[in-house]
Amino acid sequence: MKRPLFLLTLGLTGVVAAQSASEQQQLDEARSELKKTRAEYTAMRTDLYRQINKLDDHAIELGRELRTLEREAELRHNRRESLKREIEGREAGFNYTVGILNQYGDAFLTRIHPAENQLYKKRLDDAAAKATAAGDDLQAELDERLVAARAGIERLTAVTGGHRFEGEGLRNGSEAISGKFLILGPSVYMTESGGDFEGVATFAAGGTALPTVVALEDVPKGAVTEVIRNGAGDLPLDPTMGKAIEVQAAEESIGETVEKGGIVGHAILALGFVALALTVFKVWEITRFPVPSRRLVNEIIDDLLAHRHDAAAKKAASVRGLAGELVRTGVERFYEKRRVLEEALFEKLISVKPKLERFLPFLGLTAAAAPLMGLLGTVLGIIKTFKAMALYGSGNQKAFTQGISEALITTAEGLVVAIPVLVLHGLMKSLARGKFSEVEGVAISMMNGTTELERKAEAKPSKEAEDEGDDDPELVPNPV
Structural domain ending residue among the three candidates 157, 188, 220: 157
One domain for residues 203 and 298: no
How open is the CA angle 246-249-252, to the nearest 5 degrees? Answer: 135
Check residue 480 and report its DSSP letter. -
The CA-atom distances, in angstroms, between 333 and each of 245, 375, 466 are 79, 56, 22
Tell me, what's the pLDDT at 393? Answer: 63
Tell me, what's the pLDDT at 466? Answer: 46
Residues 6+ apart with CB under 8 A from 458: 473
DSSP assignment of 297-355 equals HHHHHHHHHTT-HHHHHHHHHT--HHHHHHHHHHHHTTTS-HHHHHHHHHHHHHHHHHH
Residue 34, CB-side half-sphere exposure with 13 Å CA sphere:
6
One domain for residues 175 and 151: no
Mean pLDDT, 10 residues at a time, the chain of 480 residues: 63 70 80 83 83 87 88 89 88 82 78 76 82 78 80 77 76 75 75 75 66 70 72 68 60 70 84 90 82 71 68 70 68 67 68 79 88 87 78 60 75 89 89 79 69 59 46 43
One domain for residues 293 and 425: yes
Residue 199 maps to a domain: yes
Tell me, what's the pLDDT at 242? Answer: 58
One domain for residues 48 and 151: yes
CB 406 within 8 A of CB 260: yes
Structural domain ending residue among the three candidates 97, 125, 157: 157
Residue 156, CB-side half-sphere exposure with 13 Å CA sphere:
6
How far is the C-alpha of 86 from the C-alpha of 93, rounded, in Å? 10
One domain for residues 374 and 431: yes
CB 437 within 8 A of CB 353: no
How far is the C-alpha of 408 from the C-alpha of 380, rounded, in Å? 10
- Structural domain of 424: 267-449
Quick check: helix, strand or coil at residue 440? Answer: helix
Look at strands 175-184 and 212-215 and give their pairing. Answer: unpaired
CB 203 within 8 A of CB 112: no
Residue 10 maps to a domain: no
Burial 80-113 (b: 16+ CB within 10 A, else e): eeeeeeeeeeeeeeeeeebeebbebbeebbeebb
Tell me, what's the pLDDT at 111? Answer: 74
Tell me, what's the pLDDT at 469? Answer: 43
Tell me, what's the pLDDT at 419? Answer: 92
One domain for residues 145 and 184: no
One domain for residues 282 and 340: yes
Residue 431 maps to a domain: yes
Number of domains in the chain: 3
Taking the CA atoms of the chain, what radius of gyration do you get in angstroms?
Answer: 63
Tell me, what's the pLDDT at 480? Answer: 35
How far is the C-alpha of 355 from the C-alpha of 349, rounded, in Å? 10
Quick check: helix, strand or coil at residue 206? Answer: coil
DSSP assignment of 114-136 equals GGGHHHHHHHHHHHHHHHHHTTT
Residue 463 maps to a domain: no
Task: Tell me which H or E stretch contains 201.
Answer: strand 198-201
Check residue 461 and report its DSSP letter. -
Residues 6+ apart with CB under 8 A from 300: 292, 312, 315, 316, 327, 331
CB 267 within 8 A of CB 411: no
How far is the C-alpha of 466 from the C-alpha of 469, rounded, in Å? 5
Residue 260 maps to a domain: no
One domain for residues 132 and 51: yes
Residue 75 maps to a domain: yes
